[in-house]
Amino acid sequence: MADQDLHKVAFPTLDDVQVATLAKFGTRRALRDGEHLFKAGDREYKFFVVERGAVEIVEHSSGETKKVALHERHAFGGDVSLVTGRPALISAVARGDTEVFEIAPNDIRRIMGERPALGELLLRAFIARRELLVASDFQGLRVLGAGSSRDTFRIRDFLARNQVPFTWIDVDHDPQVGALLQSFGLTEADTPVVVFGSEPLLRNPSTRALADLIGVRRPLTQRVYDLVIVGGGPAGLAAAVYASSEGLATVVIDATSPGGQAGTSSKIENYLGFPTGISGADLANRAILQAQKFGAQFSSPSQVARLEFEKDKTLVWFDGEHVSTRCLLIATGAEYRKLDVPKREQFEGLGVYYAATQTELQLCRGSEVIVVGGGNSAGQAVMFLSEETRRVFLLLRGGDLRKSMSSYLTDRIEGADNIEVLVDAEICRMLGDQRLEAVEIKNLRTGETRTVQAPAVFTFIGAIPCTNWLPAEIETDPNGFVKTGRLVSASPYWTADREPFFLETSRPGVFAAGDVRLGSTKRVASAVGEGAMAVQFVHEYLRVM
């Protein structure tokens, strides 16, 4: 969308009917010139409509105060964080004697559900505002840390996966960094640090502390849920959208951040409805917002460790707490296999990566890099990386790329000048001191080896199901994939007086969808389809239980 059009979508003026509809939910508030409605960092701040006077939106992420927008009569304030429940990124200040009416975030979500046309206007404006803010010189959180630090990578990766606007300042290379650190009363030894505006917030924070800061780990409010979804990949997110839109009290619990494997893809080109492709992070972000709009709750990073079955409920345990639910969906997908090469562990986050996104690219732009694997995820990574690195070596243990990769990718790989496919090849050594500097590659047919100077190895060599936390009552095959439907009708754990539903596991009321399920097709669309279908079975189970 052209900037001008985006601006119109972002800052519409409400008509009298829309104002009257919103006013029913609002509380009037009079403000003096310079008084704040809310400040950046405030949680649970309120939506507002200006009745008289004006409200200026300002941001100070770089330390300087900058004007973002001015809302006058019948304009409204708010952005996507009203829906996601995250803290405000900007501040709102009255200009002149001003009167507004304010609406609590829960009521805004309710209005979005009950008044679709008005809801769409608001949500489109919120999304467009965020896009404009991110495209401006807004710095968001600033991460001051070294490219050679694993903790810096962890922090950047977590913020990026959770779609938090941030700027990374590389203490190894940025000439201004010394003065900047000094202005916060810090030295390089304190890095990585996370700052906002002129305030240092966290020093080398744990992932959990970061999650609290950005507002993704919040207390769950319901005593008993209709549906707890373990895993927020495409299957879990689809289930969350359908379940919450159909009135089920729903929560998604994810061990890292919602998005799953798909969230690590730089570009998904074969998902229906996106002819020019969509990044996994974007797809996940839209789905999360959609589910939250309908009232689904999220908790991450929260690793589910244990289930406890009661007569007609399941207790789901994570990080020492638990929630209770009538139905459970296991959507924990799969996690990548790791290379069996000495020193691999030492270089994780310091040259060994399992995703190819901007976060990793920033660390190897212009260099030679290695991608290992023969499937579509490896192919996508090769295409993405080849645009901004000098050369990509694609390593296959076998001899034929076309056997395992879609032709839309193999055609492009074969046509590219800076991609070299090495068949019958594997990495036998990783070399480097603080971080990965080079790898030794062995030809499995001839035994010859060669060394490539490469600061990054990207591995896409298949995945194993995340099911080691499941109790015996949930039957799996010998490889750990969850059995469902006809496969569990004779299970000793199957106690119901009926046949299991198609996606039901050996425990009545517990379902499985997506990559974790035995026999599923390992694709985004299939996972989404199964997640949606599972909700239908949840309704049927709740009817017959």
Ligand X SMILES: Cc1cc2nc3c(=O)[nH]c(=O)nc-3n(C[C@H](O)[C@H](O)[C@H](O)COP(=O)(O)OP(=O)(O)OC[C@H]3O[C@@H](n4cnc5c(N)ncnc54)[C@H](O)[C@@H]3O)c2cc1C
- The contact set with ligand X (CB under 6 A) reads 230-236, 253-256, 260-262, 264-265, 268, 270, 303-304, 331-334, 376-377, 380, 466, 469, 514-516, 522-525, 527
> 128 vs 283, which CB is nearer to ligand X?
283
75/466 with CB nearer ligand X: 466
DSSP character at residue 371: E
Sequence-distant (6+) residues with CB within 8 A of 476 are 465, 467, 470, 482, 483, 518
Q: In angstroms, what is the minimal distance from the CB of 531 to ligand X? A: 7
Closer CB to ligand X, 19 or 278, in the complex? 278
The least CB distance from residue 157 to ligand X, in Å, is 13
Alpha-carbon distance of 46 to 109, in angstroms, equals 12
Intra-chain end-to-end CA distance of the chain, in Å: 49
Query: Between 26 and 234, whose beta carbon lies closer to ligand X?
Result: 234
Distance in Å, CB of 234 to ligand X, minimum: 4
Cα 255 to Cα 489: distance, rounded to the nearest angstrom: 30
Q: Torsion angle, CA of 338/344/348/353, rounded to 10 degrees? A: -50
Residue 220, Cβ density class (10 Å: 0-12 exposed, 13-18 middle, ≥19 buried): middle
Q: Give the H/E segment covering residue 543.
A: helix 524-544
Q: How far is the CB of 115 from ligand X (least distance, A)?
A: 32
Question: Please, which residues bridge with residue 57 across strands?
Answer: 69, 92
Yes or no: say if 133 and 66 are a contact pair by the CB < 8 Å rule.
no
Residue placing its CB nearer to ligand X in the complex, 212 or 424: 212
Cβ contact 280:266 at 8 Å: yes
DSSP 156-201: HHHHHHTT--EEEEETTT-TTHHHHHHHTT--GGG-SEEEETTEEE
Name the residue nearer to ligand X (CB basis): 334 or 396.
Answer: 334
Cβ of residue 260: shortest distance to ligand X, in angstroms?
2
Question: Least distance to ligand X from the beta carbon of 438, Å?
Answer: 24
CB of 353 to ligand X, least distance (A): 11
- Torsion, Cα 135 358 193 64, to 10 degrees, reads -10
Nearest to 69 by CA among 110, 125, 22: 125
Q: What DSSP string runs through 468-487?
A: TT--TTS-B-TTSPBP-GGG
Q: What angle is formed at CA 251 by the lines to CA 248 and CA 254, rounded to 5 degrees?
A: 150
Cβ of residue 141: shortest distance to ligand X, in angstroms? 22
* Residue whose CB is less far from ligand X, 145 or 231: 231
Q: Write phi, then psi, for 433 (nearest 5 degrees).
A: -105, -85
Output 139 or 467, the one with its CB closest to ligand X.
Answer: 467
Question: Mapping DSSP to helix (H, G, I), strand (E, B) and coil, where does residue 37 land?
Answer: strand
With respect to ligand X, which residue has the nearer C-beta, 215 or 231? 231
CB of 406 to ligand X, least distance (A): 9
Sign of CA dihedral 130, 131, 136, 139: positive
Measured from the CB atom, the residue of 226 and 360 that comes closer to ligand X is 360
C-alpha dihedral sign at 337, 339, 343, 344? negative
Q: Shortest distance, CB of residue 299 to ligand X, whole angstroms?
A: 9
Q: Which is nearer to ligand X, 84 or 377 (CB)?
A: 377
As measured in angstroms, the least distance from the Cβ of 284 to ligand X is 9
Chain centroid offset of residue 444 CA = 38
Query: Could you give the CA distance from residue 58 to residue 64 in angstroms, rounded to a whole number?
Result: 10
